[in-house]
Structure 1
Amino acid sequence: MTSDGKAEDRKKVLSVALFDGCPFICLDESGPFVDGLKAAFAGAGYELQFKQIPFARAVTDLQTGHLDILPGVLKDGIDGAVFPNSWLYFTRMCFFSDSGDSWEWRGVASLKDRLIAVEKGIVHTPEFFDYVQNRKNVTHLSGNDILFRQLRMLKLSRIQSFTAEQTVLAHYLEQKGIAADSLKNAGCFEPEFEYVAISATHPEAAEIRKILTVGLADYNRSVVPGLF
């Protein structure tokens, strides 16, 4: 056996939950959650073994020690888990309008007389949530195909803007063959950060936490330096 083979044999295996959360994490092992984890563990002596599992079951398996790592969790959002100090990825809700529309989101005051659509029950911020209640200029959508319905309403001029998560919308436009430059990002809310949960039962949980804290910080600085 070659020296490279021996080095490979010495790698310790970590089981990682893989669930259908496209475009952030997909069953074909693509998406920024996966990219960030692979980058953080590069050269650290661990092999990541992705395990297809529904998210709800993954939480239970992590708590009972049958799973080592669960990506895409709010920090301290799971009992019986350890979290690194560095985030894995972020989501960001933004306003989108027609590309030629000069309007920009500058707080709730900028929504005066603006026809908008939002997903029913979504908060964004407490101030925004309070504002959109019982407003005639706000359409609340629930159920399936919300992005399709928002885009349709925008095209028919029934609304002037809608809110959506920027990465999810970009993925949707690409999948549907819709030109991204047909829309304008008119401004965003503050990002919400997703973390990696580590099973507290793992004997090397503290070491794994350290690797992720350092590795993800370095990786994120190279990918989205504007958030630092």
Structure 2
Amino acid sequence: MLVSLVLSLLSIALQPAQAEPQTLRIGTGDWAPYVDQSRSDGGALPRLVSAVFAEAGYRVEFIFHPWARNVLMLQQGQLHAIMPYSCTPSRLNFGICSDALVRGEIVLFHRRDQAFEWSAVEDLLKYRIGTTLGYSYGPAFDEALQAGRLNVTQNGKEDTSFRLLELGRVDLHPQDRAVGYAMLRRLFPEDGGNIVHHPRQLNTEPLRLLFRKDDPEGIRLVRLFNARLRSFAERGDLQRLQQALNSGDADDWVPSTSALAARD
């Protein structure tokens, strides 16, 4: 009996320890309804990204920083990836983009009592515009901004431009439509309706993960992520997520997979 017990204990001791999943550090920012720092799961896109990487055997830790700092940390090798970003030409100088997660729609917000029409970026030159550092608003707007043709006040925090818009200190604020209305509901629960958006789109852009292109590990991870993401697309998860974001129901969206449960 004693010998049997000893042999059993030895057998258990000699079994190889199960390796802990590697943790990936992904930089992001508070950008509800896509990313919500107040939620334990990080919001809709972190739920998706965590599930995709979980199916590949990885854990994900989301690091919240301003958008420009995320880019710098990725370039310095302090992060495995950053999200959600559009795949602009300047970012392709140092990064490699994943396949699209969802599609964002950039519009121009303005006060309801301000008559505003536009059809080209040239029509915006006479307005005071509030923007966020590290954010891309589409090729035409970004080019005009870099050329110094626009009257822009850049801010480090996402909500500053909406506060300035409410106070009448800027005239326009370009922002993702879903993000803008989520932010307005939080900032001005009683009179958020004073700010509306113009129906013309400034830009539509797929939102993606961005990895370092000079890092072999980053190249391997983006290929792995894309392969797993295709499975989610085939199951209809990405379509359901886009619909949930468009209808304001992103908080209730969960991927149709047990990967997150399995990860925990």
TM-score, normalising length: structure 2: 0.54
Aligned match for 1:184, one of 196, 199, 223 = 196
Distance 2:210 2:194 in 1: 38
Change (3 A) 1:18 1:216: farther
Give the superposed CA RMSD. 4.5
Q: Does 1:224 align with 2:242?
A: yes
- 1:207 paired to 2:224: yes
- One-letter code of the match for 1:221? Q
What is the aligned partner in structure 1 of residue 6 from structure 2?
none
- Please state which structure has a larger fraction of its residues in helix: 2
Task: Deviation per CA, 1:160-188: give whole Å up to 9, x if none.
Answer: x5132134433432332344433322122
Q: Which moved more, 1:88-97 or 1:71-80?
A: 71-80
Q: What CA deviation, in whole Å up to 9, does each residue of 1:80-107 have, x standing for no partner?
A: 86543x2134543312234477755443
Partners of 1:104 and 1:220 lie apart in 2 by 34
Residue deviations 1:101-154, cap 9 Å, x none?
A: 775544358x49x96331379864437838x977xxx8533456332112211x
Letter matched to residue 38 of structure 1: S
What is aligned with 2:164? 149
Alignment correspondent of 1:164? 174
CA spacing shift, 1:175–1:68, aligned 2, 3 Å: same
Match 1:17 to one of 21, 26, 36: 26
The structure-2 alpha-carbon separation of the partners of 1:51 and 1:123, relative to structure 1 and needing over 3 Å to count, comes to closer
1:119 aligns with 2:130: yes
Query: Which whole-Å CA distance do the structure 1 matches of 2:52 and 2:31 have between them?
Result: 20
Rounded Cα–Cα distance in structure 2 between residues aligned with 1:80 and 1:201: 14
Tell me if structure 1 keeps the 8 A contact 2:111–2:165.
no
Task: Give unmatched runs, 5+ long, in structure 1.
Answer: 1-8
How many Å separate the matches in 1 of 2:219 and 2:172? 47
> Cα–Cα, structure 1 residues 19 and 73, in superposed 2: closer, same or farther, change >3 Å?
closer
* CA separation of 1:129 and 1:19: change in aligned 2, threshold 3 A: closer
Partners of 1:140 and 1:51 lie apart in 2 by 30
In structure 2, relative to structure 1, the CA distance for the partners of 1:87 and 1:96 (3 Å cut) is same
Structure 2 CA distance for aligned equivalents of residues 203 and 95 of structure 1:
35
Name 1:61's counterpart in structure 2: 77
Change (3 A) 1:151 1:51: closer
CA contact (8 A) 1:88 1:216 kept: no
Which amino acid in the other structure matches residue 17 of structure 1? I
Counterpart CA distance in 1 for 2:119 and 2:219 is 48
Q: Any stretches of 5+ residues in structure 2 without a counterpart?
A: 1-17, 247-264
Is the Cα–Cα contact under 8 Å of residues 92 and 191 in structure 1 kept in the other structure? yes
Q: State how many pairs are aligned.
A: 202
- Aligned-pair distance for 1:48? 2.4
2:83 counterpart of 1:71: yes
- Deviation of 1:34 after TM superposition, in Å, equals 0.8
